[in-house]
Amino acid sequence: MNLVINISTLVLGFIIGLFVNSQFILPLIHGLPKSLWYFFKGEIKFMAIISQLITPAIWIVGFFILGIVLELINPALDDFILNGSAFGVGWTLSFFAILLNFLSVSGRASMKEDYDQTTFQKYRK
């Protein structure tokens, strides 16, 4: 039974991590440098840079509040999420899965298309 729980929490950590890490990591690693590049070339407005920083800032504040709530409710739950559990391993694997997205041609094309639709078109001069 313990094996089933560990596999379930690993999968849950991976799925949640994919969603959260894609909201946090991609704007910082992909969107921000691209926005800076286009801003200094004079093709987009400065607000494009700010828009790449807003989402990660919201997630940081949300995680801070969630951490405080988890610590107040049950300190053991906070330790479960952070200290080498299957959930944490799944979360870490999702981080590397997102970084692998930069190595594939289709992943880079998808990120470029998404950036062009959401940021470049919106903040174009």
Query: Model confidence over 89-104: pLDDT tens digits?
Result: 888 899 999 988 888 8
Reported pTM = 0.77
Cβ-contact 33, 61 below 8 angstroms: no
pLDDT value of residue 79: 65
- DSSP string computed for 72-95: HH-HHHHHHHHSS-HHHHHHHHHH
Q: What is the mean pLDDT of the chain?
A: 88
pLDDT value of residue 26: 87
Say which residue the tokens 């801003």 belong to: 39
Average pLDDT over residues 54-59: 89
